[in-house]
């Protein structure tokens, strides 16, 4: 299957990415606009108000009162995490503009795969990913216990790929909305993040999802819930070894390195993008509901 | 065992990196490096590519010789 066929087979996912961009990133930010219209918020909408990292931080540092005072963020995080439990991390796989942009850049730039980072052992990838997640939670517990000042938490936007994306979008599309012109938190940290997200995580990482795999706490949290949901029999990807011809096509297309050496799927990494389902020539990989064959 | 080490490595590197890069978060060039770190990533990657390239040339030469 060539690139155009893959593109055609997965066209709904790519269209969905464009919708995700329009829903979340300013000057469009249509979903945030709707939320602000409902709640009567007069601020200029941007992806900051759909921050998925801060509420996770609030939960882990015990600042539950913030969850009540920022209902738009709370609603968003509950929506994304709830979806992950019942339908898998479809926000990551189908809507997230940060993952979409790095994945797109990785596909557009034809760098030979031998120059790309690709860990084939799903256990190592999971260990690194959840190790980072544990480190991230540690920082929030330290902040929560007041062992460090609140100021550590206050600068995290400078290390956020969504902020960089928002800045890039403001530069490109800002003219569409003259009231929106803010380029925030631009400094060395932003450049480090830009390079980690798009150059190392995008161009130099197989599949272009290096940022999502190793640095996104929401992605890691969503996948943990997906793992639980898959065990409970909610919507998930399943592998039928009797149908598999071991052609390895699924390994080649998976942007999250989630296919194990026996071609079954590691739900701690999979984002339910269905690229593998669409390319599998024998139908060994399918999406399923129900208790039958729930992953162990 | 190596999975546990990978987990511990990532778990310890994440907060340390964050704490060390706090000056970058506040304002550019506030640390003793004065902003030169911008060059660090491209230089590391250039180094990796050069090393790979040299290895390839060496293996080619050894094949010919
Ligand atoms: S693409 Fe399908 S048949 Fe090929 S290795 Fe993967 S699961 Fe097996
Ligand atoms: S295993 Fe399949 S559905 Fe999951 S991330 Fe990889 S390609 Fe997408």
Alpha-carbon distance values, B16 to A34, A139, A194, A292, B58 (Å): 39, 9, 20, 44, 38
**Residue A110 within a domain:** yes
Residue where the block lists tokens 């039928």: A240
pLDDT, tens digit (0-9, with 9 covering 90-100), for A28-73: 889 888 888 888 888 888 888 888 777 777 777 677 787 888 787 8
Q: Stretch A261-274: mean pLDDT, rounded?
A: 95
pLDDT, tens digit (0-9, with 9 covering 90-100), for A87-102: 999 999 999 999 999 9
What are the helix and strand counts (H, E) for chain A?
16, 2
Question: B49 C-alpha to center of ligand 1: Å?
Answer: 32
pLDDT category of residue A250 using cuts at 50, 70 and 90:
very high
**Closest C-alpha to A126, from A202, A223, A197:** A223
Instruction: Give the Cα separation of A251 and A259 in Å (integer).
Output: 6
pTM of the model: 0.85
Q: Which protein residue's CA is at the shortest distance from atom 8 of ligand 2?
A: A273
* Percent of residues in chain B assigned helix, strand, coil, to nearest 5: 80, 0, 20
Domain range enclosing A25:
3-232
pLDDT, tens digit (0-9, with 9 covering 90-100), for B13-43: 877 877 777 766 666 666 666 667 767 767 7
Ligand 1 atom at minimum distance from A276 CA: 1
Is B7 in CB contact (< 8 Å) with chain A? yes
Provide the b/e sequence for A100-128 (b: ≥16 CB within 10 Å).
bbbbebbeeeeeeeeeeeebeebebbbbb
**Residue A284 within a domain:** no
For A147, the 3-state DSSP assignment is coil
Which of A239, A250, A259, A274 best tests ligand 1's pocket when mutated (most atoms within 8 Å of CB)?
A250
**Residue A237 within a domain:** no
Domain range enclosing B36:
2-64
**Residue A220 within a domain:** yes
Selection from A23-27, A167-171, A234-238 with the highest mean pLDDT = A234-238
Q: Which residue of B has its CA nearest to A134?
A: B11
State how many domains chain A has.
1
pLDDT, tens digit (0-9, with 9 covering 90-100), for A178-195: 666 566 666 777 778 888
Q: What is the ipTM of this complex?
A: 0.82
Question: A288 C-alpha to center of ligand 1: Å?
Answer: 17
pLDDT, tens digit (0-9, with 9 covering 90-100), for A155-165: 677 778 888 89
Q: Which protein residue's CA is at the shortest distance from atom 2 of ligand 1?
A: A280
> Do you find a cis peptide bond into A230, omega within 30 degrees of 0?
no
For chain B, what is the largest distance between any 2 Cα atoms, rounded to a whole number of angstroms?
56
**Residue A251 within a domain:** no
- The C-alpha of A191 sits at a distance from chain B's nearest C-alpha, in angstroms, of 7
**Tokens matching residue A38:** 């409902």
Provide the pLDDT for residue A196. 87
Q: Which of B25, B32, B46, B49 to mutate to test the interface with A (most CBs of A within 10 A)?
A: B25
Question: A179 C-alpha to center of ligand 2: Å?
Answer: 40
Instruction: Give the Cα separation of A189 and A37 in Å (integer).
Output: 33
């Amino acid at each position: 299957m060539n690139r155009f066929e893959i593109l055609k087979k997965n066209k709904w996912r790519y269209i969905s990415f464009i919708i995700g961009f329009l829903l979340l990133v300013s000057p469009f930010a249509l979903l945030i606009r709707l939320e602000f219209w409902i709640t009567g918020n007069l601020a200029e909408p941007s992806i900051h108000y759909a921050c998925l990292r801060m509420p996770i931080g609030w939960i882990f540092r015990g600042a539950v009162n913030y969850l009540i005072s920022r209902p738009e963020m709370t609603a968003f995080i509950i929506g994304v995490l709830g979806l992950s439990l019942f339908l898998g991390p479809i926000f990551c796989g189908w809507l997230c503009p940060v993952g979409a942009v790095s994945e797109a850049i990785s596909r557009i730039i034809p760098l030979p795969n031998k120059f790309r980072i690709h860990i084939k052992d799903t256990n190592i990838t999971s260990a690194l990913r959840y190790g980072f997640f544990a480190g991230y939670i540690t920082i929030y517990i330290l902040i929560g216990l007041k062992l460090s000042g609140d100021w550590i938490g206050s600068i995290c936007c400078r290390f956020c790929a969504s902020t960089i994306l928002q800045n890039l979008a403001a530069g490109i599309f800002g003219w569409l909305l003259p009231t929106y012109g803010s380029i925030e938190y631009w400094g060395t940290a932003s450049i480090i993040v830009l390079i980690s997200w798009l150059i190392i995580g995008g161009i130099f990482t197989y599949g272009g999802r290096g940022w999502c795999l190793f640095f996104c706490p929401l992605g890691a949290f969503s996948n943990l819930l997906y793992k639980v949901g898959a065990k409970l029999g909610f919507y998930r990807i399943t592998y039928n070894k009797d149908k598999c011809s071991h052609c390895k096509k699924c390994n080649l297309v998976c942007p999250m390195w989630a296919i194990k050496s026996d071609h079954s799927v590691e739900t701690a990494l999979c984002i339910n993008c269905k690229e593998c389902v669409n390319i599998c020539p024998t139908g060994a990989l399918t999406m399923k509901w129900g208790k039958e064959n729930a992953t162990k | 065992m190596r999975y546990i080490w990978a987990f511990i490595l990532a778990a310890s590197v994440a907060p340390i990196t964050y704490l060390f890069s706090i000056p970058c978060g506040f304002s550019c060039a506030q640390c003793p490096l004065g902003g030169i770190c911008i060059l660090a990533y491209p230089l590391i990657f250039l180094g990796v590519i050069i090393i790979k390239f040299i290895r390839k040339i060496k293996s080619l030469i050894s094949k010919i010789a």
